[in-house]
Amino acid sequence: MERGAEGAAAAHRTSHGRPAAPSHRDGAVLASFVLGYGVAGASLLLAAQGVDALLPEGLALLVLLSGAMFVGGILEPRKNAQVFYLALSVVPALTLARMGFGVTVQFIIDPLLVYLLLAVTILVLRQSIGARPEARGLTRRQTLRALPLGVALAAGFTVLGTLLPVAGATASAGPSWVPLVVLAPVALLDEFWFRGVLQGTLARASSAEWGWLGTAVLFVAYGAPFGNGITLLFRMAYGLAFGALAMRRENLPVSLVARTVMTVALLALSPGLAGTSLIV
């Protein structure tokens, strides 16, 4: 009887406490998704550069990836793997939403609408992804401790960002409060999703290192339709740096502080960057 009770308790902890060990299938799905989303991002990047024939293929691949992951999440019996699939399905869906909003509504409103959808997604999945602040190291004490390192990282990447010749940047007479007010919280939510939610979800399905690298690749591919080679290299650089910090949950506040401060500083110094993927 005691052994039976212990076994039941262990099973309960596996399903409701620490996640079950990932299967090889999850790792293969992650690798395939990262590859497919990278190809879609490259197609949309080339389409933005004038190779219009690649636009339908890129969009079709995004729809296929999002649909496949969503169906996989609905049919998957394992709770942790279900969240893994559903979290992946959100990424191409966000890309499609952002591209659609970018065509139908004026600039600044489109990223706001996209990240309102993302906020709803986080709320819907909060029970499964452990989005409670304390589960992510987002306590007052940790946030205060993160400020010096976060600001220092932001300063370094801000200097680098202002020196880059970014295509799509526009001239501006001075800083505008509208991009600052809108894009600063958008960048914060973006960082929480990629480093605070998605990276942890991918890590549980593979390993901490593959979750880190996979998230960095997805982060770059997400910005591909709205940037160029320079902005994507910049996104890769700070995505890898911030992701390395987020590999330890208590360092997530450093990533959030750095991304938000960097966004505000870049927009204050170079307002024309607001329309590029250097920001979001």
- Asked if residue 160 has pLDDT above 60, the reply is yes
Checking if the pLDDT of 39 tops 60, the result is: yes
Instruction: Output the six-digit token pair for 181.
Output: 């007010």
Q: What is the pTM of this model?
A: 0.76
Please give the share of the chain, as a percent, with pLDDT higher than 70. 73
Judge whether residue 147 has pLDDT over 70: yes
Q: Is the pLDDT of residue 62 over 70?
A: yes
Q: In terms of DSSP H, where are the helices of the chain?
A: 2-16, 24-48, 54-75, 79-104, 109-129, 140-163, 177-191, 199-205, 208-223, 229-246, 252-269
Does residue 226 surpass a pLDDT of 50? yes
Q: Which two tokens stand for residue 87?
A: 């979290």
